[in-house]
Chain A
Amino acid sequence: MQQKLHVTLLTGRTIEQGVGKEYGKSSHQYYEACSMVYMDVDDMQKLGVKNGTNVKVTTPNGSVILKAVKYPRGATPGLIYIPYGPWANAVVSNATTSIGMPSFKGTPADVEAALDQPVLSIKELLKKEFGR
C-alpha cells in the first residue's frame, strides 16, 4: 500500500454537475456533484482508499479534500477526474501557455487518503481561498 500516488489530473463535465449547476451553485445537488473525484479502482486499492471516503489532491497550485468515487466504466490507471467547479479550481493549473486557456486537463497531481479531513462546502471553500 502506498502513501501517495502520482497521477494525471483531468477536470471536466459530468451530467450530475450539469444538473447541479442549474439548481444553483449553493445547492445540495451541485455540492454532491462537484466535490468528488473519479479514480481508477486499482489505484484506489494501492492507496488503501475505500469507495466514498475522502482523499486529498495536491498540485503546485494548491490542495483540496474530495470524496473518492470508483470510475464505473473501465480502467483509467494513473488518471483522476474532478468535475468542473470551485473544488477542481483549487488545484487546477493556471498556466495559459500565452493563449488565454489554462491547462484544465492533463497536469500532474498527487493523491493520498484523507479519511479524517472534511470536504468543505462551497461557502467554506470560497472563504478559505478568497477571504469572502
Chain B
Amino acid sequence: MSVINAVTCPICGCLCDDIEVTVVNNEVVKVKNGCAVCEAKYMGYKSEHRIRQPLIRKNGELVPVSMDEAVHEAAEILANANYPILYGWSSTNCEAQRIGVELAEEVGGVLDNTAVVCHGPSLMGTQEVGIPTSTLGQIRHRADVIIYWGCNPWSAHPRHLERYTSFTEGRFEDSEWKTYINKVKAAAGRKKVLSAQRVAPKPQRETVGESAVESVVFNKPPETLQKEGRKLIVIDVRKSMTAEMADYFIQVEPNKDYELMQAIRALVKDEELDVDQVAGVPVEYLREVVDVLVNCQFGVIFFGMGLTQSAGKFRNIEVAISLTRDLNARTKFLIMPMRGHFNVAGANIVFAWQSGYAFGVDFSLGYPRYNPGETTSMDVLLRGESDAALVIASDPGATFPKKAIQSLVKHPLIVIDPHMNATAMLGDIVFPSAFVGIEVEGTAYRMDNVPLPLKKVVEPPEGVISDEELLKKILAEVRRIKAQKAKKTAEVA
C-alpha cells in the first residue's frame, strides 16, 4: 500500500494539487481532500466503460483490431483528408497537445479545443480589451469583495471557495467560513420556528437569519454588504447553491447581463441613469452594490458560461472586462474566467506559443490562420466543410449541438479516449488511452494559467498507451504515407 501526496486532480480548472491518494495493488482505494467529482474520477476511472483495445467500425459495429491496423487506418484518413478537424485536447497533458499542433500542421487541418464551447468567447473578449487579472493566490491573500457572475462554483468548481476565495485564510484577509456556518445554523433555527408556527416559508422571500439571501425585487440590500471581512456577491438568472451562500444575490433576467454590466459601469463613473430598473434589477440596489465595489480594497469577478453562452457571448465578456478596467480607476479590481476542463487553458497556451493563436487554428494554407466564425471547428462542422475528424480528450458527442454532431458522423471519425464516451460510441476508429493525472504524468495549466505537474499513481491497463505516445505513432505513420505518396508522384512524373 502506498499513500501519495500532493497529487494534482485532473478534472476542472481548479487543479487542486493537495489530493492524497491511497493505492493498493495498482488500484486507487481511497481519495482524501478531493471534492465529489474528484473522488468519482479516482474511484470510477477503472469502470466497465473503459476501452481496452483499438476498435474499428466494420459493418456498423465496432470490432477490436490491432494497434498497427488502427494507427495505419487513422493515418491514411488524416493524410488523405482535404480539411480535417483535430478537436478536443482539454483533458490531456501539454506533452500530447504539442504533438497535436505538429500533427495538425502536418495534415493541414483545423486545430481547435473545447474552449470553442466554453471560454472561447472570453479569449475573444480579451482580444478586444485585454484582461486585468492575477494568479489565484492574490485573491486568497487580498480580496475583500468576491463576485461570481454567471457561474456556480458549487456545481462546477466545488473547492473554489475553500481553496481560493471566501473560505480561505490569506495574509491580509481572513476566511468567512465561520460566518457562513453561523448563518446556516441560524437558518436551520428559523426554519424550525416557522414550522412550529405552521407558517410555510414563501418561496420568493426565503430569508436565512439576519443576513438575508433574498431575491432583490422589493427589499433593501442586507447589512451584510457593509460588514467587515470578505463579501460574496453572486449574480445569476436563478438562485444557485453558490447564491445561497452569498452575502448578496442579484437575480438578472436571462440574456440581459450586457445591459446590467453597462448600467453598473455608468454608476461606477458617477453617471445618472434615466431608468428605474435594468435587466430586472432596481437601480437603487445597483447604486448600493456599486458603493461596495468602489469602496473595497480589492475586488474580483469570476465569470462562467452564464456570460459566454447567453446572448452577447464575447461582447458580454468584453463589457465585464471593461467594467473591471473602469473599477481600476477607483480601486484594485481583477477578473478571471472559470476555466472548465483541467487543461483547457494548457491547450490554448500551447497552441498560442507554437502558432500564435489560442484556438480555432487553421493550417490548411501551410501557415496558421485564425478567424472565429470561419476557422472555429463548430462553424466548420455546421457548414459541413470538413471531411474527417480526430477527437481526443473531450466529448463533443455529448457537448455539441445535434447538427454539428451529424456533420462529424458523416465523415470518418477517429476518437481517442479512455472511456467509451458518446463520441466514441459514434466513432469509426476508436483508440484507448491512459488517464492523464492517474496513469500518465505530465503538465497542466490551472484556470489562472499556473502550470502544475500531474502525477502517475497507477499503471495503465495492459496495452493502453498515453495520448502522447499514440499521437507520435499516428504522426510518424502520416509522414511515412505522405513520403510514399510523394515518391510515387515523382516516379510517375
Contact = CB atoms under 8 A, between A and B. Distances in A.
Q: Do chains A and B touch in the complex (CB under 8 A)?
A: yes
Interface of A: 8, 10, 12-15, 18-27, 29, 41, 61-62, 71, 73-76, 79, 81, 84-86, 89-90, 92-94, 96-106, 122-123, 126, 129-132
B238 A22 contact: no
B402 A90 contact: yes
Given A22-B11, A23-B49, 4 more contacts: A8-B255, A92-B401, A94-B401, A99-B314
Interface of B: 11-12, 36-37, 40-41, 44-45, 47-50, 60, 116-117, 120-121, 124, 152, 154-156, 158, 203-204, 206, 215, 237-241, 243-244, 254-255, 305-306, 308-311, 313-314, 360, 372-373, 376-379, 382, 395, 397-406, 409, 419-422, 425-426
Contact of A13 (B45, B152, B243): B152
A74 B120 contact: no
A75 B204 contact: yes
Contacts of A79: 237-238, 254
B11 A105 contact: no
Contacts of A27: 44, 47, 49
Nearest to B399: A84
Contact of B313 (A14, A26, A101): A101
Contacts of A102: 117, 309, 378, 400-401, 404
B158 to A, nearest CB: 7
A122 B398 CA distance: 10
Contact of A84 (B12, B382, B398, B404): B398
26 contacts: A13-B155, A13-B305, A15-B36, A18-B12, A19-B40, A22-B37, A23-B49, A41-B203, A73-B243, A84-B398, A86-B397, A89-B399, A89-B400, A90-B402, A97-B313, A99-B124, A99-B372, A99-B376, A100-B116, A101-B309, A101-B314, A102-B378, A102-B404, A103-B311, A129-B405, A130-B406
B25 to A, nearest CB: 21
B237 A10 contact: yes
Contacts of A131: 409
Given A74-B239, A106-B255, A100 B360 contact: yes
A25 B244 contact: no
Contacts of A97: 313
A132 B409 contact: yes
The residue among A12, A29, A97, A123 with the most chain B CB atoms within 10 A of its own CB is A12
Nearest to A71: B238
A105 B335 CA distance: 22
The residue among B41, B215, B254, B422 with the most chain A CB atoms within 10 A of its own CB is B422
B36 A19 contact: yes
B305 A74 contact: no
Chain A interface, >50% SS class: loop
Contacts of B11: 18, 22
B156 A100 contact: no
A19 B158 CA distance: 11
A96 B400 CA distance: 11
A62 B402 contact: yes
A20 to B, nearest CB: 8
B359 to A, nearest CB: 8
Nearest to B314: A99
A25 to B, nearest CB: 4
A86 B120 contact: no
B491 to A, nearest CB: 40
Contacts of B120: 99-101
Given A74-B239, A97-B313, A99-B124, A130 B156 contact: no
Nearest to B47: A24
B373 A96 contact: yes
Nearest to B154: A15
A122 B426 CA distance: 11
B391 to A, nearest CB: 13
B382 A96 contact: yes
The 3 closest A-B pairs by CB, nearest first: A100-B376, A24-B49, A98-B373
Contacts of A100: 116, 120, 360, 372-373, 376-379
The residue among A26, A29, A96, A104 with the most chain B CB atoms within 10 A of its own CB is A96
